[in-house]
């Protein structure tokens, strides 16, 4: 039986969650069972109660707010343990049209991709301010260059994962999962694609960030941090080479003046060049160490993948044994 679990991270979404749930499909070709998972990220309203009253099969509730990235990761782990073959993540504010879930799943069902991202066509979103639209497009361009992917809307939370892709997903950011997961998938050379999706009328402002500057700062830090995890030698080598080169240029300048009898007045340049040469060399050494750490990270991720696969297999065995015991008990009666 092929199972789809639609996960919905929520934070104080009692007013908008009912519309989102009503919009979800109840039947999709190629899918035998569709279940909904709500991750309540420490809401102080009746989000969990609303989800329960609207027939949500699975609810995970945090005692306190842990952030979108933690809610998403918990949803992925929970969906895997529930036996999901495919996982779709969508927002609780009904931003994305539930009818597009079938379109989102198509590349996965056809075996053409491991991850599918919903493309909102940011250029045409009228409710999004022009400055924010430009920043979203520029940020997506940066992520495409860093991750070697072709995803036009990298901040879209409307996405689908195969079980294999979900097992290999590791989120370490506390800000958001959207950028990190794409960079991670690109560096692991996973099959990631996108499909155009429609959006509903905006119901509320984004809660992920307080200001544009805050969003830019957090996104930039996330991109640099994740890229450095997978390409540390490149980043530190370039930075170290630039620093070393500046020191070398200044030292050559000093030597020019020195051999022309004017070196006495340029002692500060000699000190500065020495500092830059030493720092540049140290940065390149740090790059080598970071590259070794990156190799260890890859081994750790592979171990984590195998552990998750084993846990999933063990869960299936336990469930099967439980069903057999229940069948015997019913037969004995």
pLDDT above 60: residue 325: no
Same domain for 191 and 319, yes or no, is: no
**pTM: predicted TM-score of the whole model, two decimal places:** 0.79
For 121, other C-beta atoms within 10 Å of its C-beta total 12
Q: Confidence class of residue 89 from pLDDT cuts 50, 70 and 90?
A: very high
The domain in which residue 146 lies consists of 3-229
Instruction: Determine the average pLDDT of the residues in 141-159.
Output: 88
Reported as a single tens digit per residue, the pLDDT across 176-205 is 788 888 988 888 889 999 999 988 877 666
Reported as a single tens digit per residue, the pLDDT across 6-34 is 999 999 999 999 999 999 999 999 999 99
Rounded to whole angstroms, the Cα distance separating 232 from 234 reads 5
Q: How many domains does the chain have?
A: 2
Main-chain phi, psi angles of 199, to 5 degrees = -125, 150
| Res 126: pLDDT | 63
Q: What percent of the chain has pLDDT over 90?
A: 47
C-alpha distances in Å from residue 79, one per residue of 30, 96, 194, 234, 259: 18, 20, 22, 36, 72
Reported as a single tens digit per residue, the pLDDT across 221-265 is 777 777 777 778 888 899 999 999 999 999 888 888 778 877 666
| Res 174: pLDDT | 73
Rounded to whole angstroms, the Cα distance separating 101 from 120 reads 13
Same domain for 123 and 209, yes or no, is: yes
Same domain for 170 and 309, yes or no, is: no
Name the domain boundary from 174, 194, 229.
229
Same domain for 159 and 245, yes or no, is: no
Same domain for 255 and 131, yes or no, is: no
What SS3 state is found at 150? coil
| Res 59: pLDDT | 96
Same domain for 224 and 250, yes or no, is: no
Same domain for 71 and 19, yes or no, is: yes
Same domain for 225 and 306, yes or no, is: no
- The residue with tokens 């979103």 is 125
Instruction: Determine the average pLDDT of the residues in 294-315.
Output: 81
Same domain for 150 and 266, yes or no, is: no
| Res 72: pLDDT | 94
Burial class (CB in 10 A: 0-12, 13-18, 19+), 127: exposed
Instruction: Determine the average pLDDT of the residues in 52-59.
Output: 94
From 122, 112, 111, 175, select the one nearest 151 (Cα to Cα). 122
- The dihedral sign for the CA sequence 125, 129, 133, 134: positive
Please tell me what DSSP assigns to residue 99.
Answer: G
Reported as a single tens digit per residue, the pLDDT across 60-72 is 999 999 988 899 9
Which CATH number is 114's domain given?
3.90.550.10
Name the domain boundary from 229, 259, 277.
229
Rounded to whole angstroms, the Cα distance separating 279 from 247 reads 9
Same domain for 210 and 281, yes or no, is: no
Same domain for 66 and 188, yes or no, is: yes
pLDDT above 90: residue 329: no
Same domain for 199 and 273, yes or no, is: no
Name the domain boundary from 229, 249, 276.
229
Instruction: Determine the average pLDDT of the residues in 136-165.
Output: 88
């Amino acid at each position: 039986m092929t199972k789809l679990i639609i996960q919905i991270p929520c934070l104080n979404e009692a007013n908008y969650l009912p519309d989102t749930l009503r919009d979800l499909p109840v039947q999709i070709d190629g899918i035998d069972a569709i279940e909904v998972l709500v991750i309540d990220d420490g809401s102080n309203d009746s989000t969990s109660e609303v989800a329960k009253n609207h027939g949500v099969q699975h609810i995970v509730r945090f005692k306190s707010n842990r952030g979108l990235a933690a809610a998403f990761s918990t949803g992925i782990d929970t969906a895997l343990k529930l036996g999901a073959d495919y996982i779709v993540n969508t927002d609780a504010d009904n931003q994305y049209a539930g009818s597009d879930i079938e379109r989102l799943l198509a590349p996965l069902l056809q075996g053409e991709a491991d991850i599918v991202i919903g493309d909102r066509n940011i250029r045409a979103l009228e409710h999004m301010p022009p400055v924010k639209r430009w920043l979203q497009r520029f940020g997506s361009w940066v992520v495409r260059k860093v991750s070697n992917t072709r995803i036009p809307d990298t901040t879209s939370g409307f996405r689908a994962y195969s079980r294999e892709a979900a097992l290999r997903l590791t989120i370490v950011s506390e800000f958001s999962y959207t950028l990190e997961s794409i960079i991670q998938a690109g560096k692991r050379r996973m099959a990631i694609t996108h499909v155009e999706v429609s959006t509903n009328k905006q119901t509320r402002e984004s809660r992920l960030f307080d200001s544009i500057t805050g969003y830019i700062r957090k996104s930039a830090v996330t991109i640099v941090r994740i890229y450095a995890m997978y390409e540390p030698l490149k980043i530190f080598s370039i930075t170290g080479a630039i620093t070393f080169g500046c020191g070398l240029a200044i030292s050559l300048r000093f030597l020019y003046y020195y051999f022309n009898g004017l070196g006495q007045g340029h002692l500060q340049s000699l000190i500065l060049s020495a500092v830059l040469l030493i720092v540049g060399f140290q940065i390149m050494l740090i790059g080598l160490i970071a590259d070794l750490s990156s190799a260890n990270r890859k081994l750790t991720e592979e171990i984590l993948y195998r552990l998750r696969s084993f846990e999933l297999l063990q869960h299936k065995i336990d469930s099967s044994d439980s069903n057999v015991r229940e069948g015997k008990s019913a037969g004995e009666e």
